[in-house]
Amino acid sequence: MPTLILAIAELFGTALWFTPNAVLADLQALWRLSDADLGWLTGAVQCGFLLGTLLIGLGGLADRLDASRLFAACCLLGALSNALLPWAGGLWGAVGLRVITGMCLAGIYPVGMKLMVGWTPGKSGLGLAWLVGMLVLGTALPHGLRGLGELSAGIPWQGGIWGASLLAVAGGAMVWRLGEAPAVRQAKQHAGGPGARLAGLEAFSIDGFRRAASAYFGHMWELYTLWALLPLMLLAAAPGLDTARLALLAFALIAVGGPACWLGGALSQRYGSRRVAQLGLAGSALCCLAYPWAGPLLAPTLEGGSLLPLALFLALWSALAVIDSPQFSALSAAACPARIVGSALTLQNAIGFAISMLSLIVLIPLWQALGAWLAWLLLPGPLVGLWCLRHASLQAKPTE
């Protein structure tokens, strides 16, 4: 039951992350924003998340404080900053609110992982798979909302934003009531010393954590850039694709990662987190390698032709690119003593998302020039991950 509660609370809390993406057109019309202005608005939450994870990871807050209370407080504050968005008055007010929301998300996503590890001793790969799977569904949600919005009319755009805030409050209340696992509460007495303030950095002195985290960093070079490229890949194959169909296809191609994470979690109980992570990295590396040929080959040759073959390939690639994500965190958590797990996972997230932002900034502008061959620039990510996981001794086991 704690696993289900945490997974649902994570979905509700992280609904704050991407909700405004579904109403960008309304905000653009309301505040007369340019396309460049929209870039500021969408990037502000990522910047806030990076700042928040650095603060929590280096300050050791997730280990020195009650993580369930921190999660709930961040849900409440994030819900408030999100709900105020319609009254921001313009771009820079909205950017400020989104930075605050991003900082609150740093107390929801990685702190939720810390809570899940505590409640699933010996099965962290399975528990984290459910949690990350919910995050993936939240990532896909704006595309689904946009597609449904194109197919229906008359739904006020503010309603979606306020609905996400209510979900976040509900998620915070669920975790507040659940609390931390009993074993974690007992370990708190060992986490209050001065060293706890740099607990995230301390984790990098542990060989197992360092290798698992480095594999995660390679994975993050590929994942979010691939998701950003999916609509561009679909449009390249079918230029006449209407907005609603494109949005719903993008939703489906990203959302498939949720069940993929859950499948990976089940497989981790039989084969171990390291092998599942290697499977995902190897599979996505092969997709990167093959796409420059597979993409044009599977694209419809006639106007109105079937996109199904290409969509199935992209769905497989998307699933393989994320199936390993929770297993990296399981391996990292297993390598650390319980007193620093929260800080270690939060700092790992901070670095990973910084790498994903760099990948997006550097690679997405190259799509026009390189087209399908851009996939080869994603390839170093999974290859680095495979190299880091080459040691057979690296495996998820109960945290000491």
Q: What confidence score (pLDDT) does residue 198 get?
A: 64
Q: What confidence score (pLDDT) does residue 240 get?
A: 82
Q: What confidence score (pLDDT) does residue 36 get?
A: 65
Whose CA is closest to 103, among 82, 134, 132, 127?
82
With a CB cutoff of 8 Å and minimum separation 6, the contacts of 148 are: 248
Q: What confidence score (pLDDT) does residue 190 get?
A: 52
Total residues found in the chain within this entry: 400
**C-alpha triplet 332, 338, 340: angle, nearest 5°:** 75
Distance CA 35, CA 151 (A): 24
> For residue 280, what are its two tokens?
């995902």
- What digits encode the pLDDT tens for the residues 6-21? 999 998 998 888 777 6
Whose CA is closest to 38, among 23, 51, 17?
23
Q: What is the DSSP string of 178-228?
A: H---HHHHHHGGGS-SGGGGGHHHHHTTSHHHHHHHHHHHHHHHHHHHHHH
Distance CA 23, CA 28 (A): 9
Give residue limits of the domains in the chain: 2-183+193-388
Cβ–Cβ < 8 Å for 191, 340: yes
Quick one: fold of 2-183+193-388?
A: Growth Hormone; Chain: A; (1.20.1250)
Q: What confidence score (pLDDT) does residue 379 get?
A: 97
Q: Under the phi-then-psi rule, with left for phi > 0, alpha for psi from -120 to 50, and beta for the rest, what region is 32?
A: left
Q: What confidence score (pLDDT) does residue 286 get?
A: 98
Low-confidence ranges of the chain (pLDDT < 70): 21-22, 24-25, 35-36, 38-39, 42, 141-155, 186-199, 302-304, 392-400
Whose CA is closest to 54, among 348, 325, 259, 371?
348
Distance CA 72, CA 70 (A): 6
Cβ–Cβ < 8 Å for 262, 130: yes
Cβ–Cβ < 8 Å for 220, 390: no
Q: What confidence score (pLDDT) does residue 181 get?
A: 84
Helix (H/G/I), strand (E/B), else coil: 171? helix
